[in-house]
Amino acid sequence: MIRAGAALVIALALGSCAPADHKTHLYLQRFFGECGAEYGGSTDISKAEGECGIITTMIARFNAENPDIQVDVNVVAWPGYPQLTAQVAARDPPDLVTMHEGVISDYAAKGLVEPVDGYLRAAGISPNDFTEAARQGVTMYGHIYGLPWDTHGGLFHVNTALFAKAGLMRDGKPVLPNTGQELLQQARQFEQRTGKPYLIQSNVGDPAFAARNLYTYMMALGAPIFPDAKHIRLNTPIGLTVANFFRRINAERLGTQNMDTPAAIAAFINGEGGIYPTGTWMIGSFEQEAETPGRPLYKSYAVFPYPRLWGQHVEFVSGHSWVVPTRKRSPQQREAIARFFKFMAAHNYDWARTGHIPAFKSVLNDPRFKALPHRADIAPLAEIGRPLPAYVQRQNAIEGLVGEEMAAGFTGQKPVRQALADAERRVNTLLSQVD
Amino acid sequence: MQRGRLGIAGWVALAVAALIMVAPLAWTLLLSLKNNAELVGHSEAALHGPYTLQNYGAIFGNSLTLRWLLNSTIVALGQTAGVLILASLAGYGFSRLDFPLRKPLFIFVLVGLAIPSQAVILVQHQLFAWAHLHNSYPGLILPGLVAPFGVFFMTTYMRGIPRELDEAAMLDGASRWTVFWKVILPLTKPAQSTLAVFTFLGAWNDYWWPLISATHSNMYTLTVGLAAAQMNYAQTSGLGYLMAQAVFASIPIFIVYIVFQKQIVRAMAGTAVR
């Protein structure tokens, strides 16, 4: 038994030794899941669907088109940052990593990821080609720190059948509000005519939901949410205006109560409310429902960026990007990274089929992109999208704290003013501990 | 327990309790047998057909799944064997041998029970990085060998074995080692079984250390590998696959429970120690 076990371990060890080749190897680490069973070996990107299918096929295609380069893929559990941090600590980081733009500053501030200006130049990519939201998302400390890959943010997913019943359709399009007061009026009208809530909300276990709403409308009102790298300012008249607005929606029961994300998605799909404010990533699933006869959403789905309710029409967004962790690399590897960037930029349209907004202006204006369902309606997100300031570190953790407190404030678990003050205090404590 | 004494009300209560226990497991199994698209927004679709094995097919379609299964098996068995050896030896030492600082040392070991693994994870990670042990079996197995509970458990159990047995063996000329190996160790089988089951289950289910130590996918354990294989928003658009993963990952644990049912129940009831 022991001998058999030892033989097995030795065989495994030997099996792990790859034969030497003459390729330049890049070690790429990504999330988006594993779908080798469905897409393993496929290089036809046009036939791939979903984030996992498309990215798997794209990398296979890159390997096929670049026989002198081998991209070895390591799929990590979402979002992969504990593993990346561990790899950096062990001085064995990958060559390319998928990273949310809000996280780049954590690594860039410590020099753990390289500026990619040189790779972009070598790939013939100009930052002027990026959309405004994408450019802002990867620019910090005077450099570009990643190849932007998409922009994602909140959208108003609309059940047009219920909107029609509520008398809120004009020329075949949903009538979205232009002011906070108008939203409340429409919501009341919607509730009276359909007997259903206007908004579907995931205020339970989804801190991003409340944080996204607060950030978006505070930005619209011109509030400097992060006046500097060490402070957040939420407990202000503007913060109070926005938070009281969402509190009122809940107090008047114009939105669903006590729902987490899966419950809210199910509620929207089953026609239990008018609008579900959630991300770009749900377009594919909702569109599938809209194309299935017999389903509540059948031919009754539209989607738009958050409407302008106050001030400017801007919206809080983030994005996915490819970053290059700092480590020693050969000139061949650096050239391979540039070629990878060039390939990924050239195929940004394929990635936009996931529902995310493209990171390149050329794709945004590409007729193929505009012909995709709903894309013409959501494309403005690329221009109105605003990430948090690049100097703010720990954006993920901050979103968790802000979202947790504001969900409590919006739903009435604690007074709105206290929720704002608590969120501010907790975030400032966190930021005070950041180097 | 005598059946006659339970009465109808008791049986009904037991049946309800059993139903409550089984319901989530049955629900998980049913969900795992459904097409993902059908479950988006309609999880009640799990209550009726058609059922499919496509989610299990997707798990096995990943070329690394069997590798992860093997890694988990090696790590769990390695930790179990290591803990049994070290805890038995330490337990014998603390319960039978007189040596300087025995009591303070035992208290020191017990203090280890109060230190959560998260508190030492940074130092531990750096140590293993320094020793180049990440992404290796020793890197995954060694941290699990630090088992203060095992030492405490075996020490307590061995203290309950009469010293007269040692003395009788020694009078017959047995050495310390012979006493340990041939007299004490066989008497600790119930405790060994209990400790083995708990250690195996802990190692099998461990997620945090393998997540940051095994960063190359061919060295993932099953828990980390299955988590990595999940697509974003798996709880909504990949519910069937998620549940199939849960069922698949729990099968070895289920087998361990079936095989060692008696020891586990005894351990839970606190009867393994005397």
**Mind telling me how many Å the CA of A415 is from chain B's nearest CA?**
32
Distance, CA of A130 to CA of A358 (rounded, Å): 9
Distance, CA of A77 to CA of B225 (rounded, Å): 8
**pLDDT per residue as tens digits for the range B166-202:** 889 989 888 989 999 999 999 998 888 889 988 998 9
Residue of B nearest to A268 (CA): B41
For chain B, the structural domain boundaries read 63-229
pLDDT at B232: 67
Taking domain B63-229, whether its CATH number is 1.10.3720.10 is answered by yes
Cis peptide before B116 (omega within 30 of 0): no
**pLDDT per residue as tens digits for the range B208-238:** 899 989 988 889 999 998 888 877 666 777 8
pLDDT at A361: 95
Q: What is the CATH number of domain A22-148+320-355+357-386?
A: 3.40.190.10
- Whether the pLDDT of residue A8 is over 90: the answer is no
**pLDDT per residue as tens digits for the range A307-354:** 999 999 999 999 999 999 999 999 999 999 999 999 999 999 999 998
CB contact under 8 A, A75 and B229: yes
A195-213 per-residue burial string, b: 16 or more CB within 10 A, e: under 16? ebbbbbbbbbebbbbbbbb
Enumerate the residues of chain B whose CB falls inside 8 A of the CB of residue A36: 61-63
For chain A, the structural domain boundaries read 22-148+320-355+357-386, 153-317+393-432
Contact B53, B34 (CB under 8 A): no
Enumerate the residues of chain A whose CB falls inside 8 A of the CB of residue B64: 34
ipTM of the complex: 0.73
Q: Quick count: other Cβ atoms within 10 Å of Cβ B119?
A: 10
Contact A426, A401 (CB under 8 A): yes
**Mind telling me how many Å the CA of B89 is from chain A's nearest CA?**
21
| Fold match flag (A22-148+320-355+357-386 vs A153-317+393-432) | yes
Topology of domain A153-317+393-432, per CATH? D-Maltodextrin-Binding Protein; domain 2 (3.40.190)
**Mind telling me how many Å the CA of A114 is from chain B's nearest CA?**
21
Lowest mean pLDDT among A191-195, A244-248, B161-165: B161-165
Contact A320, A248 (CB under 8 A): no
pTM, 2 dp: 0.82
B96-109 per-residue burial string, b: 16 or more CB within 10 A, e: under 16? beeeeeeeeebeeb
Q: How distant, in Å, are the alpha carbons of A124, A139, A143, B259 from that of A136?
A: 19, 5, 11, 58
